[in-house]
Amino acid sequence: MPIPFVTFKPAEYHRGKDCYVSFYVTDPVTNKLVRRKVKVNHVRKVTERDRYAKMLCHQINEKLFAGWNPLMERAGCRAVSLSDAVNKFLAAKEKTCRAATMRSYSSFCRVFIQYAADTGLANGYCMLVGHAHLLAFLEWCADVSDLSNRSWNNYAGFLYTLFDFFKQRGYCNDNPAKDLPRRRVDRKQRTVIQKSDRAVIRSYFEERCPRYVSVMMLCYQLFIRPKEICMLRIADIDFDNRMLRIRSTVAKNHNERLLGIPDVLMEYFEGLKEYPATYYIYADRNTYAPGQKMMSPTRIAEKWKEMRDELKLPESYQFYSLKDTGITEMLEAGVPAKYVKELADHHSLEMTERYTHRSEAKKILEWNRLEF
């Protein structure tokens, strides 16, 4: 049901046998304008009654134009339009979110508000938006943009985050996005890279782009994520103590951490001393030389794919497979999972322990001496 652009009618004074002030507001349940009356007959003198009624009209109208709705108050919600609420959401997130996250929020909100404007929802109250409206939006996105199942789930997650913000601010009583259906998504297929294949991959890049080898080592040995790699500056390297600092503004989980730099990786870093400390370690999208402008993380994946296609390696060998491989081999070597968790900057120990299945399966195979 479209939400009306007119959400109230100003207060007016009615004189007669029954003197009262009346105004109209939107009923949040029926989405229709309903009249509210305030009787003023209790004021005996006509002149005082007229003066009181005019003053009352002025006060009510000031509140109405400021967004007040007594029916909303009764429902326990603030009278805020959907478009205004979305703008408040973006303004709040801009203060706390990283630039990439903010771009995602802005992109989603732009699509959502355009749909809301086309369907008449944008200028209506937040509390009037229900589960059916949000489901219709997702289905519209699926039809128009041919959303994948993963994107559908991402959009549903965005809606939950958006309306959870509204609920916390008192714009709605409940979160209508909490029961939106999710679609099945196949798990990403990434496999551990065999040692023989790693040697081939290393030789490939040592011949064509030597600096990319250090990019791979940062992921394989220190478990640094591609985006974090691109945000590293030369100032983050402590050459004397052979340490690498991952700043909280760089880390995905906002946890600052210090990592020891292995000897083989330190050899690549020694040549960085001649550059300004403010330079990004990797800036040039072709040579991966340092520079003032940060390189896009997508370039790491693109260069990896070029190599994989040329060497005809399986698609399950993804750049992030280097991190999977390093974590798996470290656990197989007997390093306690809690230490691997800290190095990998995992949110929980359970996330790290997912990598233990392969090593445990190998141990069981060694113990298994059953004969049929």
Show me where the domains of the chain are located: 8-75, 82-169, 195-367
* Number of Cβ atoms within 10 Å of the Cβ of 346: 19
Tell me the CATH number of domain 82-169, given options 1.20.120, 1.10.150, 3.30.70, 1.25.40: 1.10.150
**Model pLDDT, residue 3:** 40
**Model pLDDT, residue 365:** 47
Torsion of CA 228, 233, 239, 241, to 10 degrees: -50
Query: Which amino acid is residue 47, in one-letter code?
Result: T
Token output for 11: 């207060």
Q: Residue 275, SS3? A: coil
Return the minimum-mean-pLDDT range out of 45-54, 76-85, 286-295.
76-85
Question: What is the chain's length?
Answer: 372
Mean pLDDT value of segment 249-266: 85
Q: What pTM was estimated for this model as a whole?
A: 0.55
Task: State pLDDT tens for residues 8-37.
Answer: 899 999 998 899 999 998 776 666 788 999
Tell me the CATH number of domain 195-367, given options 3.40.190.10, 1.10.10.10, 1.10.443.10, 3.60.20.10: 1.10.443.10
The yes-or-no verdict on residue 366 having pLDDT over 90 is: no
Torsion of CA 57, 61, 63, 65, to 10 degrees: 180
Token output for 226: 């591609």
